[in-house]
């Protein structure tokens, strides 16, 4: 009897075992195999045949074909995650990690698809995902902003992450940037600073305006005159922070604290400040925004900043998606951006003239 045992293993790359194969080997029907594999079917299987089936499954290295299963059950245990730009942004990583963990823990697979900003591709990708019958869709955009979503999104439970649509027809999760801006300012206000500079980014971006609003809020609440605080506009790049800081220094006695629209600008500020012989935080305190990985905590001195809740947003989104609660969600849900105090903030220098 040649090959009785050997042939039981899949001949590497050959046809995978099917449920019927398992049944045959165990001497039962495919139905029975299905019952033991799916447990809780309200069915009862004798411990003995159960074991025989399990043995056969192991022997054949059987794994159910999820396409067939999905076809039958109309559930794929799949969450689609579409980004408009997976890019190098740290954004995606944390969000995806959070969403993946929750999804996986609940028995679903998060499949990430990076589209581009190209409307056509975006639409086609969403359609494709729906054709594959994902159970729900998370649509993530990198910079918080209003977006136009593919029509097809209405054909499946969908949720927007970091983006929002006009009519509020799709629920969104967003970072609470206003509170974040306040938190950033509070970091230096609490340390006793009264003369601040704020290096902001493009006014066309929603986060820019929200953070700035938060900043002004905090300044007013602290009893300071917002008009006394200088606001310089840049573009979120490190070199822009560098330039703006140089302008600041050239303009006269520098403020005692420089708040930046993001960590990269803060990095530019660091370079300009050090070049000018100013010490951080003894002479000038600096605050960033984003708590960017490998940057904020690693520069010298470590940068005080505000953290984006990307990981939490990912978790939250996946949670709603697997729980099937998307239809019940409010239009917008804001998650907090907590302050992260580090070494770059200290008390203002004694002589401020």
Longest dimension (CA), the chain: 98
Contact between 121 and DNA (CB under 7 A)? no
Query: Applying CB under 8 A, does 112 fall inside the site for a second copy?
Result: yes
Site of tokens 């420089």 = 258
Applying the rule CB under 8 A, the residues between 9 and 68 that interact with a second copy are 10, 12-13, 16, 63-68
Query: Which residue's CB is nearer to a second copy, number 39 or number 228?
Result: 39
Q: What are the Cα distances from residue 329, in Å, to 16, 148, 157, 159?
A: 42, 20, 11, 9
45: burial class by Cβ within 10 Å (0-12, 13-18, 19+)? middle
| 204 lines the binding site for DNA (CB under 7 A) | no
User: Contacts with a second copy: how many residues (CB under 8 A)?
Assistant: 64
By C-alpha distance, which of 262, 312, 293 is closest to 95? 312
* Contact call for residue 312 and DNA (CB under 7 A): no
Interaction residues for a second copy, span 60-99 (CB under 8 A):
63-68, 70-71, 76, 78, 86-90, 92-94, 96-97
Length of the chain: 353
As a whole number of angstroms, the distance between CA 263 and CA 275 comes to 18
Nearest approach in angstroms of CB 69 to a second copy is: 9
Asked if 164 contacts 333 with a C-beta cutoff of 8 angstroms, the reply is: no
> Which of 198, 242, 289, 316 is close enough to bind a second copy by CB under 8 A?
242
Residue in 20, 29, 148, 155 binding a second copy, rule: CB under 8 A: 155
As to burial, measured by CB atoms within 10 angstroms (0-12 exposed, 13-18 middle, 19+ buried), residue 341 is middle
Q: Does 46 bind DNA (CB under 7 A)?
A: yes
Residue 65 binds DNA (CB under 7 A): yes
Residue 5 CA to residue 236 CA, distance in Å, equals 65
> In the complex, which residues of this chain contact a second copy (CB under 8 A)?
10, 12-13, 16, 63-68, 70-71, 76, 78, 86-90, 92-94, 96-97, 100, 104, 109-115, 121, 125, 127-133, 154-155, 237-239, 242, 264, 267-268, 270-272, 274-275, 277, 292-295, 298-300
């Amino acid at each position: 009897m040649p090959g009785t045992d050997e042939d039981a293993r899949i001949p590497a790359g050959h046809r995978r075992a099917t449920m019927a194969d398992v049944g045959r080997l165990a001497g039962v029907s495919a139905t029975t195999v299905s019952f033991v594999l799916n447990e809780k079917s309200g069915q009862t299987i004798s411990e003995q045949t159960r074991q025989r089936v399990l043995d056969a499954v192991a022997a054949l290295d059987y794994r159910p074909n999820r396409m067939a299963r999905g076809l039958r059950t109309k559930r794929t245990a799949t969450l689609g995650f579409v980004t408009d730009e997976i890019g190098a942004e740290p954004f995606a990583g944390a969000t995806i990690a959070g969403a993946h963990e929750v999804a996986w823990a609940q028995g679903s697979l998060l499949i990430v698809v990076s589209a581009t900003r190209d409307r056509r591709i975006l639409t086609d990708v969403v359609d494709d995902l729906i054709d594959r019958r994902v159970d729900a869709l998370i649509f993530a955009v990198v910079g918080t902003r209003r977006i136009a979503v593919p029509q097809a999104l209405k054909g499946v439970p969908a949720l927007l992450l970091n983006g929002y649509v006009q009519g509020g027809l799709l629920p969104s999760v967003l970072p609470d940037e206003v509170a974040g801006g306040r938190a950033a300012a509070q970091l230096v206000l609490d340390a006793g600073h009264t003369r601040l500079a704020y290096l902001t980014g493009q006014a066309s971006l929603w986060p820019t305006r929200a953070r700035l609003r938060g900043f002004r809020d905090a300044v007013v609440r602290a009893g300071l005159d917002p008009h006394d605080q200088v606001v310089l506009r840049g573009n979120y790049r490190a070199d822009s922070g560098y330039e703006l800081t140089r302008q600041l220094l050239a303009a006269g006695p520098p403020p005692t604290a420089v708040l930046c629209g993001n960590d990269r600008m803060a990095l530019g500020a660091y370079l300009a400040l050090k070049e000018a012989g100013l010490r951080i935080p003894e002479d000038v305190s600096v605050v960033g925004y984003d708590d960017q990985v490998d940057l904020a905590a690693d520069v010298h001195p470590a940068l005080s900043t505000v953290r984006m809740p990307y990981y939490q947003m990912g978790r939250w989104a996946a949670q709603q998606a697997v729980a099937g609660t998307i239809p019940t969600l409010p239009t917008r849900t804001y998650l907090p951006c907590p302050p992260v105090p580090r070494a770059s903030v200290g008390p203002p220098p004694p002589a401020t003239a």
